[in-house]
Amino acid sequence: MANFIWLVIALPVLGALFNGILGRRVGYQVVSMVGPAVVLAAFLVGVGAFIDVLNHQGEAIQVHLWTWATIGNFNVPVTLLVDPVSATMVLVVTGIGFLIHVYATDYMVHHDHDHTHPDRDFARFFTFLNIFIASMLILVLGNNYALMFVGWELVGACSYLLIGFWYDRTEDPQRAIEIDGAESVSIPSLLSPAASGMKAFVVNRIGDVGFALGIFLIWSTIGSLEFTTVFEKVHELDHNTISWIALLLFVGAMGKSAQIPLYVWLPDAMAGPTPVSALIHAATMVTAGVYMIVRSHAIYNLAPEVSLFIAFVGAITAFIAGTIALVQVDLKRVLAYSTVSQLGYMFMAVGVGAYSSGMFHLVTHAFFKACLFLGAGSVMHALHDVIDIRRMGGLKDKMPHTYRTFFIAGLALAGIPPMSGFFSKDEIMAKAFEASPILWGIGIVTAGMTAFYTFRAIFIAFHGEPRDHHLYEHAHENRSAVTVPLWILAALATFGGLLGLPAPILNELGIPIPHLLDNWLKPVLEIAHAAEHGEAHHLSFMTEVVLLLTSSVVAIGSVGLAYFFYVVNPEIPKNLARTTRPLFAVLANKYYVDEIYNSIIVQPALNLSKTMAQGVDMVIIDKGIVDGVAKVIGMIGGLLGDLQSGYIRHYALATFIGALLMVGYFFFR
């Protein structure tokens, strides 16, 4: 099947063409079939390819389709690379993509008593969603940086279109978080979907400048963009160049994977429909940066300083985003900041050279975060698009499936054993501890916050008394198109840990269970490992166990704290907010980062733009120089007497002056 891997891209493209061109005419039921069906078909092809790679003992299979561009010695082929890393990504993208497509067939329809009202642009939604799947697969399957960049930009465009899907909606006005009766903290208004989409695209493009420059640097120093050639030859470059390449590529990852300082677009991306948040802004696209670094590990192994920098950027992002998530009142935004934070963990992993652990967390995070987002969407769907947790409460009996799956996925996110998130996060923590205890320290604090904010949201939204009775009355569990994907994802979130059980500990205990994912990815990752790290020193058995226990205790303790705060004694958080009001306000306003960017980047750029347009262009260049020259010529023309009228005079004179200058030059030269 691996030779037919192009089908995984072609099928969604065909789906998009069908839905885009005929979707309105054939009606939403047909679109509901075609949209998910092409992704399912792609998934099956992906499974076939996966098995092929398995049978090849992880050897890479290259499928050449055509040559994109050739100029002189520059050559970019459209060749797809199927190896353990890309095959894994294909399964994640198409597998979770399919579930979310199915979910969306119901989410994008409003049920009103016995009537069903599909979204006005139902077909357009599935068109974009299909294109996204194809684009994401180009990103992960390309065998060279140019093709990866193609996918990279295309997923950005899909993200732009899907965030702004409800393009006619306006911004959500200024709101406030009430602390206690009269006291409240104001928070900024939410951008409109159209503005959010644009913000995402432009901020991503800033990252893309870095990525593009990294690619140019690779080309100008190595003379090829194909992964195999680049990774073979990269060690011939001097250390400085390698570091620059590594750093520039990472700038791209900062944009796409929402790391400090380019993370600001992701929370606003929540303006898009929830399936989009789940698919693009949690499970797949935002992990592209992690994938890129794993793919480029041969470069990063040679740039240890940059790698360490990445690890710290990841850790700090994880921490900062975690703190913001603590006080968000919008369920999707809690999850959005949580995504930023979890992506930070992944960068921490790849930064310390634990590429396989980064991939592990990427996969488990895709499971549980997709489940959480879809759960949030299920709540929204039931509450007529209300997403403010302060208006929820007591939903657990009304929406049992949503509640249970959300709870399960929440346990995974919180890192409670034996859920998938526990194993993947713990692996990262152990590797981080090996590299630097500081990283581990930041990680463990963030882990505590993660468990806390996740269950804060769960307890407020699903437990306790309903806060808005009208909404509560209308709430109902969703149909099976929504709940079945939820349960499948919840199951994956539960058992996903089996992919990477802590082999060092288990083996020590005499249980010979291998680390499945490590072994699977080994053919891609081990070359560099063996070459660079030699025999990496491992943590002692005792350290591993202590770290494992610490993580577990912190996670469980934080869930307990959330329970105490929001179920047992809800007065505590209110008092806390009041006593720490300045801090609370800073967090609620996301450290004012958007405002800061606005005043030091966006506004100055706009002002410069206005100065250029109205001052420089219209006045200095046009009115001043151009019209001035014209006037001078006109005056001289007038002095020479009105031999001609209109422009011909100018023409004649200009010709004359020009000729004079040239002749003069030849004469005096």
Residues forming contacts to other proteins in the complex (CB under 8 A) are 20, 66-72, 74, 121, 124, 146, 149-151, 153-154, 157, 160-161, 164, 167-168, 170, 192, 194-195, 198, 201-202, 205-206, 208-209, 212-213, 215-217, 219-220, 605-606, 608-610, 612-614, 617, 621-622, 625-626, 629-630, 647, 650-651, 654-655, 657-659, 661-663, 665-666, 669
Q: Which of 167, 509, 190 is nearest to 332 (CA)?
A: 190
- Cβ(6)–Cβ(64) below 8 Å: no
d(CA 210, CA 462): 43
Three-state SS for 551-569 is HHHHHHHHHHHHHHHHHHC
Three-state SS for 527-548 is HHHHHHHCCCCCCCHHHHHHHH
Query: Cβ of residue 428: shortest distance to other proteins, in angstroms?
Result: 32
Query: Cβ of residue 10: shortest distance to other proteins, in angstroms?
Result: 13
- Cβ(113)–Cβ(69) below 8 Å: no
Q: Which of 561, 590, 596, 90 is nearest to 341 (CA)?
A: 590
Q: Which is nearer to other proteins, 70 or 569 (CB)?
A: 70
d(CA 96, CA 67): 31
Q: Which is nearer to other proteins, 84 or 289 (CB)?
A: 289
- Cβ(166)–Cβ(273) below 8 Å: yes
- Tell me if the bond preceding 418 is cis, omega within 30° of 0: yes
Q: Which is nearer to other proteins, 385 or 617 (CB)?
A: 617
d(CA 463, CA 457): 10
Query: Cβ of residue 137: shortest distance to other proteins, in angstroms?
Result: 13
Query: Cβ of residue 603: shortest distance to other proteins, in angstroms?
Result: 12
Cβ within 8 Å of residue 558, ≥6 positions away = 414, 447, 448, 449, 450, 451, 452, 455
Query: Cβ of residue 138: shortest distance to other proteins, in angstroms?
Result: 9
Q: Which is nearer to other proteins, 5 or 331 (CB)?
A: 5
Q: Which is nearer to other proteins, 160 or 403 (CB)?
A: 160
Query: Cβ of residue 71: shortest distance to other proteins, in angstroms?
Result: 5
- Cβ(457)–Cβ(388) below 8 Å: no
d(CA 409, CA 420): 9
Q: Which is nearer to other proteins, 509 or 630 (CB)?
A: 630
Q: Which is nearer to other proteins, 152 or 453 (CB)?
A: 152
Q: Which is nearer to other proteins, 55 or 609 (CB)?
A: 609
Query: Cβ of residue 243: shortest distance to other proteins, in angstroms?
Result: 16
d(CA 168, CA 623): 40
d(CA 576, CA 279): 35
Query: Cβ of residue 482: shortest distance to other proteins, in angstroms?
Result: 28
- Cβ(423)–Cβ(364) below 8 Å: yes
- Cβ(326)–Cβ(587) below 8 Å: yes
**Residue type present at position 387:** I
d(CA 446, CA 589): 19
Query: Cβ of residue 625: shortest distance to other proteins, in angstroms?
Result: 7
Query: Cβ of residue 214: shortest distance to other proteins, in angstroms?
Result: 10
Query: Cβ of residue 11: shortest distance to other proteins, in angstroms?
Result: 17
Q: Which is nearer to other proteins, 146 or 577 (CB)?
A: 146
The backbone torsions φ and ψ at residue 61, rounded to the nearest 5 degrees and listed phi first, read -115, 125
Query: Cβ of residue 12: shortest distance to other proteins, in angstroms?
Result: 14
Q: Which is nearer to other proteins, 537 or 669 (CB)?
A: 669
Kindly report the CA angle at 442 between 440 and 445, in degrees rounded to 5?
105
Query: Cβ of residue 65: shortest distance to other proteins, in angstroms?
Result: 10
d(CA 150, CA 143): 12
591: DSSP letter: G
Q: Which of 274, 215, 278 is nearest to 248 (CA)?
A: 215
Q: Which of 536, 552, 262 is nearest to 414 (CA)?
A: 552
Query: Cβ of residue 667: shortest distance to other proteins, in angstroms?
Result: 12
Q: Which is nearer to other proteins, 119 or 121 (CB)?
A: 121
Q: Which is nearer to other proteins, 21 or 513 (CB)?
A: 21
- Cβ(130)–Cβ(15) below 8 Å: yes
Q: Please name the helix (run of DSSP H) or strand (run of DSSP E) that holds residue 417, with its range, or none.
A: none
Q: Which is nearer to other proteins, 513 or 663 (CB)?
A: 663
Q: Please name the helix (run of DSSP H) or strand (run of DSSP E) that holds residue 464, with its range, or none.
A: none
Q: Which is nearer to other proteins, 171 or 468 (CB)?
A: 171
